[in-house]
Structures are given as structure tokens and as C-alpha cells.
Chain A
Amino acid sequence: MNLTIREALLAFRRAPLLSALSVTTIAFSLFVVGLFGLVAVNLQDALRGVAERVEIVAYLLPGTPIESITLAEKDIEAFPEVHSAVYVSEDSALARARAELVEFRDVLQELERNPLPASIEVKLKPRFRDAEHVNDVAERLRGFGFVDDVRFGRDWVEKLDRLRQIAAAVGLVVGAAFAVVAIIIIGTTIRMAVLQRSREIAIMRLVGATNGFIRRPFLLQGAIKGMLGGLVAVGLSYGAYTLINRWLIQAAFFSHLQALAIVGFGTLIGFFGSAASVGRHLRRV
């Protein structure tokens, strides 16, 4: 085992240029995947922020007894799609309007009668914030006798839906394409490393090395290169993120788990890329 480790590390010293090239190639391939991942992460964050504002407001007829409202509030909260249902009385609606619409404070101050209706504001659970469920819940709210009107941004929710679908589809296709390109490039660099040592491999076989013995240092070396490439890629992504954050827009970075996944992905590609290249080489000679 220590021989495997020694041989794997020796290869870095014997062929520093090729090793550096492999690591750089893996790093940049994964960096492209990473950049795309950053866009996806931020788009998702943005969409989630928008989706959180999906809200249905049921306006109540004036003079609805508070007991009925409290009861209805409980009923609505019991809907499987509903995250919360909050009663907003006429007075608190007015107070909120005064606080939020500073420009109209004078007008609102002088009102003799409160023109604002009471309402129940309904928020849905995250996974139900799409057009179909919003419509559905709105329909059920209309069923309450004391509900005057139900409002929600119908077009807006539908557009959000479309946007989410497109983002997911594009993400999947482009992400997969980048990943495939990365795998091909990485496989080629590893193949170069194998070819560079083909003489050594031939001599190893002549003196009675088993295929497993020949393969092991390559696999370890491939995994190490992949891991280093992954780490560099995360570093580059962080650099890009910092620049974007400073000069363009507020953006989010990968979570620790996502960063770890990139490094893990690099390690796996390095490992399996080596396995494929060495396997092919050993079968052929």
C-alpha cells in the first residue's frame, strides 16, 4: 500500500509539467461547471425569494362576526397546502397603510370612515406555490359566504411557474453538457499521463507486476489530481463570486456541502477517468 502511495506521489515529481497540466485542465473544466452552478444557485435563491411572496388575500364582507372569522381562519390553516392564514382587521389594515404609504399619511389621517376591508392573508407551503395550487386554494376561499373577493397575482404566478420550469430544464441540459465536456477533457489528460508512462508499464509487466499492481498508483494519482482540480475550481469560483459581488450584484456562494460536492465530483472523475484509461491501455498491450 505505501508503495502505491509512493509511486503515485513520485509521478508528480517525475512529470511535474504534465501533472500540473492535468490538475489545471480538471480545475478549469470544473470551474466552468462551478460557474454555471453559481448561476443556478443564485437563480434558485432569487426564485425562492419571489415565490415566498406568493400570497392569496381573501377580502371579507363588512360586518362579518369575529367568531366566524376565527373559525374560518382555523379551517383555512387546516388546508394541506396552507402554511399560514392571518386575519387582518379593518383597523390594522389602516394602520399598516398609514405606516407603509407615508406619502398619503395626511389623506389617511383625515378619513372619517375606514375604507379598507378586513382580510385573511394566506401563505402557501413552498411546494404548493404554483399556479395550479394557488388557483385551487383561491377557489375554496371563495366558497366562504363572508368572503367578498379573492386576489392573487394570477399572471404573475403563472409566469413564475414557466420561469422555474425553464430554469430547471436549461440547468439540467447545460449542466450535463458541461459535465460531459469536463469528463472528456479530463479523460484525455489522464490518457496522456498513461501514454507517457507506457514504457514503464511495459517494463513492469515484463518483471511480473500484476495489472492490479500497475493500476493502483494511477487510480490514486488520478483521484489526487481530480481532488486538487476540484479544490482549485472552488477557489476560482470563489474568486469569480467575490468579483461579481463587488462590481455587479449581490450574489450567493455555494454552501459547504455544494463546494464539497464539486471537489468530490473532481475526485470521482479523476479516479474513474484513470481507471478507464489504464484499463484500456492494459487490455491493448
Chain B
Amino acid sequence: MIKFTNVFKAFPKGGLALKDVTFHIAKGEFVFLTGHSGAGKSTVLKLVYADEPVTSGEVRVSGFNVAELRPRDVPMLRRRLGIVFQDFRLLEDRTAEENVAFALEVTGARRSSIAARVMRVLTQVGLAAKAQAYPRELSGGEQQRVAIARALVNEPSVLLADEPTGNLDERATRGVFQLLRDINASGTAVVMATHDLDLVRQAPYRVIELQEGALVYDSTVDEPRDQAATP
């Protein structure tokens, strides 16, 4: 599904953002990507959705060889992924429904099918009743649910979430995390970058830890260690 082999990523101004990173994430897995700020969590995700070029090594994502992807194939890769950010990235001048529909429209989906698919994912994230609300009328947790609905509407095989709970209070965090678990339970792989260790300890999922660009711990390979993800 996602396979990094000896991946290096250089910063534009010199230095390495990732050093020799190798891991494999299987279909339907839930993986926490942990580490300090600047450890390279976001960089890993950016390489997956081809937002940054790979410096060396091989990155494979659902059949795409990302390092050798032509620019015009990047959109095709992204349609197979769902991406969620800490800052939601919703369009302020569109309703929840329109924000979700937008992701389908850009892929050229048939208009007749859009409304039904949008309602289905909004129901899945528990926001069907607020379909007509604008982002400013929604709480942080609700906005993140809209963003998750947008990520899901194309039925991706992987959901990438970069600190999805970073801007949320505890209650909203629990809700969003539960939603991600439900999504994973229905078969979608989830890669969640986070530094919220309480969250990591709550669930029995695989943990990959980065430190200064190097992969220092992978719970499927290494001995379980309680202090693995020290802050």
C-alpha cells in the first residue's frame, strides 16, 4: 500500500529532512507516525502525496512509483488518497456540503451522483444536519469532520492525517479519533501523524517514530517499549 525504501529527503537549503527511511504499511492498517515537531512526520506524508520530490530512494503508494511520477499524474495519485490537516483547509465561502462536493467535482464525477455521495459521507461523519452550514458556523471538531468527509468522498484506500487533532479540545479530539478508528474498521488504511501520546497509548495500533529524520522505532519490528514515544 505504502512502501518507503531507503528514502532520503534533503531540505532545499541543505541538511536532511529524512535519512534512510524504510517501512511498509499494509492495506487496512492503522499507523501512528510520532516524533517531535520537525522530526519529519509531515515530510513523510508530503512524500506520500507527492507534494515534495523524493531526493533518493523509492516511494510506492497504491501502485504509483511516486519518485518517478510525472507532474500530470500527481492528481491521479491524490484521488486515491484522502488527506486531512491540522488546520482543516476548508473553503470559507462554501457550505459543508459544497466543500465535500468540491472534491468530487474536480475529479469530473457525474453531477447526478454527487449529491447522494456527499450526503452519505456527511452522515458517516455525523454532520448530515449541518450540511448547509458554513465553516465559520461550525466548531473546530465539526470542521475537522467536514474535512474528513471531504477526504473520504472519493473512497480512498488510504487516509493521511497530519496532526488532525492538533487544534481541537479534548472532547473533540476523542470524537475525531473515534471517527478515524471507525473509518479504519471499515477497511481504509489510516496514517496519522501526531505527537499526542495519550492518544497513541489509547489504542493498540502500530507506531512508527521518527527522530531528526531517521526512523528510530517501529512497533511491528522492534521490541515493545513503553517509553518508546518519549516526548
Contact = CB atoms under 8 A, between A and B. Distances in A.
Contacts of A211: 71-72
Interface string A199-242: 11011111111110100000000000000000000000000000
Contacts of A173: none
Interface string B67-81: 000011011111100
Contacts of A206: 49, 78, 83, 89
A13 to B, nearest CB: 9
A199 B89 CA distance: 8
Contact of B105 (A3, A14, A205, A210): A3
Given A3-B105, A200-B91, A207 B78 contact: yes
Contacts of B7: none
B106 interface: yes
A185 B59 CA distance: 44
A209 B106 contact: yes
B41 interface: no
Contacts of B77: 208
A122 B105 CA distance: 73
Contacts, number: 48
A208 B72 contact: no
B93 A204 contact: no
A208 B91 contact: no
B48 to A, nearest CB: 12
A206 B91 CA distance: 13
A204 B71 CA distance: 15
B150 interface: yes
B102 interface: yes
B76 A14 contact: no
B107 interface: yes
Given A3-B105, A204-B106, A209 B75 contact: yes
Nearest to A285: B51
B101 to A, nearest CB: 11
Most-contacted residue by chain B among A199, A207, A211 (CB, 10 A): A207
B75 A205 contact: yes
Contact of A208 (B76, B90, B93): B76
A210 B78 contact: no
Contacts of A203: 89-91, 102
Given A3-B105, A213-B106, A207 B91 contact: no
Contacts of A210: 72, 75, 106
B79 A208 contact: yes
Contacts of B154: 207-208
B103 interface: yes
Contacts of A14: 93
A209 B103 CA distance: 8
A100 to B, nearest CB: 75
B103 A207 contact: yes
A103 B57 CA distance: 104
B195 to A, nearest CB: 22
Nearest to A3: B105
Contacts of A208: 75-79, 103, 106-107, 154
30 contacts: A3-B105, A14-B93, A199-B91, A200-B91, A203-B89, A203-B91, A203-B102, A204-B106, A205-B75, A205-B78, A206-B49, A206-B78, A206-B89, A207-B83, A207-B102, A207-B150, A207-B154, A208-B76, A208-B78, A208-B103, A208-B106, A208-B107, A208-B154, A209-B106, A210-B75, A210-B106, A211-B71, A211-B72, A213-B106, A213-B108
Given A207-B83, A208-B106, A210-B106, 18 more contacts: A202-B89, A203-B90, A203-B91, A204-B102, A204-B106, A205-B74, A205-B78, A206-B49, A206-B89, A207-B106, A207-B150, A208-B76, A208-B103, A208-B107, A209-B106, A210-B72, A211-B71, A213-B106
Q: Which 6 A-B pairs have the closest CB atoms?
A: A209-B106, A208-B79, A208-B78, A207-B103, A208-B75, A210-B75
